Amino acid sequence: MTTEVKRKSWAQFCKQFNLTNQYRDVQVSLKARGRRPIEITQSAPFLGVALSKKGRLIDGIDLFTGTLDPDRLSEPVVSIKQPELIVVEKAEDGLATRLSVKSKDGTEANIQLTGDRDDDRYRGYVAQLAYSMFERRGGQSGDDVNDWLEAERRLKVTEQNLTQ
């Protein structure tokens, strides 16, 4: 089932979409008008969709996926400027399978969601982030608990920013 999200409900839609889909596997592609799609990410955890505003006007839609760089969690992988359409596709069970965002200039971002949201995916991503922090410290052991806690803290901050 394919549904267009009405512009007046975009903010609420983004919050709800993020809450129900965070940490599902996602692939993001970007297609400019008249061009072939470019794959931006392959199998990354979905973190969220957020509106960017200029004053009270919606200026863009930002798409966030998990990266292994803990310092870049709050940076979008794709920003669609001047969005005019959001379309969501759902499977028969009601779970979102695809999200499309189209801009006035014909650019289209597509998010393909797979799998379920579950604690194992979240823990796996935290483990990858913590390991990335360990590597940044030069691979010195002895601080693994702090790396784990810091990875969780950074993810929680990003989650809160995307669901406010």
Residue that the structure tokens 């970007």 belong to: 30
Q: What gap in Å lies between CA 145 and CA 132, rounded to an integer? A: 13
pTM, to two decimals: 0.87
The per-residue pLDDT for 28 is 94
The per-residue pLDDT for 64 is 92
Provide block-wise average pLDDT over 10 residues at a time, the chain (164 residues): 95 93 93 90 88 90 90 88 96 94 96 88 91 88 90 90 76
The per-residue pLDDT for 164 is 67
∠ CA 127-76-32, nearest 5°, is 130
38: β partners: 30
Residue 56 CA to chain centroid, in angstroms? 23
Q: What gap in Å lies between CA 50 and CA 61, rounded to an integer? A: 6
The per-residue pLDDT for 41 is 82
The per-residue pLDDT for 50 is 94
Task: Give the chain's domains with CATH numbers.
Answer: 2-118+156-163 (2.70.180)
The single-letter code of the amino acid at 13 is F
Q: What gap in Å lies between CA 113 and CA 116, rounded to an integer? A: 9
